[in-house]
Amino acid sequence: MRFQRCRMLFGEENFQKLQEAKILILGVGGVGSYVLDCLYRSGVKDITILDYDTYDETNQNRQIGSEAIGELKTKRLKELYPEIKAINQKMDIRWVREFNFEPYDLVIDSADTTKIKIELAKRVYKKLIMSTGSAKRFDASKIEVASIWKSYGDALARKIRNELKKDKFNRNFTVIFSPEEDKCIDKGSCVAVTGAFGLTICSEAIKRVLKI
């Protein structure tokens, strides 16, 4: 049976909670595609993904589905995970402000744009699990989970904190971050870290759904 091991681990009542959870994943690249894979394999039935990009050859070191060069990420991942819902849409500030997040129990932010991440935090902080910088690193053991206000050692998280402070926003939300020192200048990346970010987010999502 497909989810037998999950049912054994979580128990029938908790597994049912996972089956009924509604989760939105924003961005399905090096982090988000692993969030999707983990949630899907863990029994979450109602998953919606949103992205607008196509696969490039340079994605192949870290993204699930990236063998389909030139294809829309949403289209390819819908083929690989047929039970999900896929929205091919570019996120901008207007979209974040107008989209109806109400139906979702959790919103996973694995997008790249700082302004979008800040706007998401303001709108859905109670439901939010946010990925910060996962590029330029290769030591997955450094990954941590904390409130945005307790994150440290990551330039993206620091920028988000500073911008939120300027806007007098002080609410808590969960981030996955790594204080590992940058190992390169440009956006070099290793799936050992980007994938581990995604799997860590999945674990946090499961705990949130089960209220652990």
Q: Is the predicted pLDDT of residue 62 greater than 80, yes or no?
A: yes
Residue of 142, 191, 200 whose CA lies nearest to 30 = 191
Q: How far apart are CA 6 and CA 38, in angstroms?
A: 12
Please count the structural domains in the chain: 1
DSSP 199: H
Q: How far apart are CA 36 and CA 24, in angstroms?
A: 10
DSSP 55: -
Cβ-based neighbours of 75, under 8 Å, separated by 6 or more? 86, 88
Residue pLDDT, tens place only, 148-203: 999 999 999 999 999 999 999 999 999 999 999 999 988 899 999 999 999 999 99
Is the torsion defined by CA of 9, 15, 17, 23 positive or negative? positive
CA angle centred on 163, ends 178 and 98, rounded to 5° = 100
CATH number at residue 84: 3.40.50.720
How far the first Cα of the chain sits from its last, in Å, is: 26
Q: Is the predicted pLDDT of residue 212 greater than 80, yes or no?
A: no
Residue pLDDT, tens place only, 11-56: 999 999 999 999 999 999 999 999 999 999 999 999 999 999 999 9
In 118-205, DSSP assigns E strands to 128-131, 144-147, 174-177
Instruction: Say if residues 210 and 11 touch (Cβ distance below 8 Å).
Output: no
In 52-123, DSSP assigns E strands to 85-88, 106-109
Q: How far apart are CA 176 and CA 156, in angstroms?
A: 11
For residue 184, the model assigns a pLDDT of 93
Residue 132 lies in domain = 4-210
Residue pLDDT, tens place only, 68-120: 999 999 999 999 999 999 999 999 999 999 999 999 999 999 998 999 999 99
